[in-house]
Amino acid sequence: MSGSANWQRTHHCGELSAEHVGQTVTLNGWIHARRDHASVYFIDLRDRFGRTQLVVPKGDGETKFAPEEVLSVRGEVVARDAGNVRADNPTGHVELHVTAVEVLATSKVPPFEIQDGIETAIETRLRYRYLDIRRPEMQQKLLHRSKFIGAMRNAFLARDFVEVETPILTKATPEGARDYLVPSRVHAGEFYALPQSPQIFKQILMVAGMDRYFQVARCFRDEDLRADRQPEFTQLDMEMSFVEEEDVYACWEGVLGETFKNGMGIDLPATFPRMTWRESMERYGSDKPDTRYGMELVDLAEWVPTCDFQVFQGTLDRGGRVMGLCVKGGRTAISRGNVKNLEKLAKEFGAKGLAWWKPGEEGGGAGPLAKFCAGAAGAGLLARMGADENDLLLFCADVQAITWRVLGELRSHLAKTLELIPDGHWDFLWVTSFPMFERTEDGTYTSSHHPFTAPADWELSGDPAEMESRAYDLVLNGWELGSGSVRIHRSDVQQKVFELLGISPEERDLKFGFLLEALSYGAPPHAGFAIGLDRLVALTLRLDSIRDVVAFPKTASAQDLMCQAPSTVTAEQLGEVHIDTRLPQGSSEA
């Protein structure tokens, strides 16, 4: 650090204004830009609060100022001439005439400019993340995140929630993704797991009588990454006792309303719409539908017998579904070549093909379905789908899951390519009543959410494939923000769910014995929810990826390019935790 006793700032670089004219101040910051004039340097000094222009007289020496050097400057605040005022800069009415300058730290030439809107490879930005974060747009995103999460935390505290930290080193329990494991040095051959969520601990807190818990929680999942996922992420986790679904909905509607108001100045509706999972799938082909635009799926089971297309009838006879999608104005907006691209997409989503029809003026028209849509059959189809001769109709006939998925994905794709999505909308939606279980290919069952979710029927009678759960998701503009449910608070019901999932008594006791024991000591009815903060903050900034609202994200291959993690460790370190590595054939240690 500097040897001077007077280098610390009196003001930050976004603070000075006309009211400071005539004052002597000290600023600290980075050289953002330098302009060399005959007798002075004009320097823009930057910190996270803003920029101030410095006027630095040239001395007798060869003093040079390089980009990103860290300076401490002292001088007098002077009003700019009227012709030199920068109204677009909060400090643009003044400048600092420097009388003393000290270089606190020099800088190498940065690998990219510290400017907004740079076109630099993301790998370079992540490798030098500390420089990337210096850019004002990146700092503003992280500042927005801080303010937004702070407003949410305050909203929970105002509702008598207690913030409790739960363990990071915990027990491996199946919650739908692979665990990150941490070997124990003290207990040879045993491992901790990093938490996928605080799920079990927050339920135990309800058993402990804490009544209302929340936490800004770090979570870890060893799964394939996408633009909206990271191996470590942050969620706001909460749980409430003596409540049901509507209590959780009302709590979050109030919290989000206050958060958007205090964090962004945006008013949300007092309540959010509700829609069951089945209705969501039937109307949108998705359990996280974007409701900002229409183009809903249409069931065609009643229409199919009126035409002679045997492919459709055969699908219904086998228990499948025939559904359609009407693209308004698609007759001219979507060319034959673009239809071919839609057919290709449909196959990528699992369809065997994609039928389509561009209606003619008197039936007929274009497309593989045209010859089956003459006369009354065509008129009935138009009426059923709310279509006319200006539209494009798309059809999928397959098992229910594929039909939903194909048309749901095409709906989303078409809305983006045809620019049907209105800007500035915040369409929240509660999706409720999810299936309790999902059947796997080998005939066994997995939990649709997690095994601690309460069933709609506490007796768990009937076919597991038809059982509904008391789980719910919150969706915003087609993105799943988070999930929650009423929990199982009865030990006997929890054990029966484990049985339906094929979890043996031995495995049950090994992995969940402590939870079952806790539930046997008077557990209150409870429910909760967790919202992904990275995803929510990214959506509030209209970003497609969460990467720019996470200070130090990983790549798509789960690497930290700045720290070069993961990395190998020494044999001695491995020995301390009783680990012997066997690398896959063809790989080598770094």
Question: Could you give the C-alpha distances from 400 to 278, 305, 322, 437, 493, in angstroms and in order?
Answer: 11, 18, 8, 16, 30
| Residue 501 contacts residue 446 (beta carbons within 8 Å) | yes
| Strand ranges across the sheet with 355-357 | 297-299, 321-327, 392-398, 355-357
Distance CA 476, CA 489 (A): 30
DSSP strand E in 377-518: where?
Answer: 392-398, 428-432, 437-439, 445-447, 471-476, 479-486
Give CA–CA dist 67/452, Å, rounded. 56
Superfamily of domain covering 18-105 = Nucleic acid-binding proteins (2.40.50.140)
547 dihedral zone (left: phi>0; alpha: psi -120 to 50; beta):
alpha
Q: Hey, what are 393's tokens?
A: 């109709």
pTM of the model: 0.90
Question: Domain 293-417 falls in which CATH fold?
Answer: Gyrase A; domain 2 (3.30.1360)
pLDDT by residue for the chain (590 residues), tens digit each?
344 568 999 999 999 999 999 999 999 999 999 998 888 999 999 999 999 999 999 875 556 789 999 999 999 999 999 888 998 899 999 999 999 999 999 999 999 999 999 999 999 999 999 999 999 999 999 999 999 999 999 999 999 999 999 999 998 876 567 899 999 999 999 999 999 999 999 999 999 999 999 999 999 998 876 656 789 999 999 999 999 999 999 999 999 999 999 999 999 999 999 999 999 999 999 999 999 999 999 999 999 999 989 999 999 999 999 999 999 999 999 998 999 999 999 999 999 999 999 998 666 789 899 989 888 999 999 999 999 999 999 999 999 999 999 999 999 999 999 999 999 899 999 999 999 999 888 888 999 999 999 999 999 998 999 999 999 999 999 999 999 999 999 999 999 999 999 999 999 999 899 999 999 999 999 999 999 999 999 999 999 889 999 999 999 888 999 999 999 999 899 999 999 888 776 655 54
- What are the boundaries of each domain within the chain? 18-105, 139-167+195-268+428-555, 293-417
In contact, 290 and 322? CB cutoff 8 Å: no
Give the sign of the dihedral formed by CA 7, CA 8, CA 12, CA 16.
negative
Strand partners, 209: none
CATH number of 139-167+195-268+428-555, picked from 3.40.50.720, 3.30.930.10, 1.10.357.10, 3.40.1400.10: 3.30.930.10
Q: Which tokens sit at 136? A: 């004002």
Answer yes or no: are the C-beta atoms of 70 and 105 closer than 8 Å.
yes
Token duo for residue 116: 């907004």
d(CA 138, CA 328): 39
Identify any residues that bridge with 71 across adjacent strands, giving them in sequence order: 29, 103
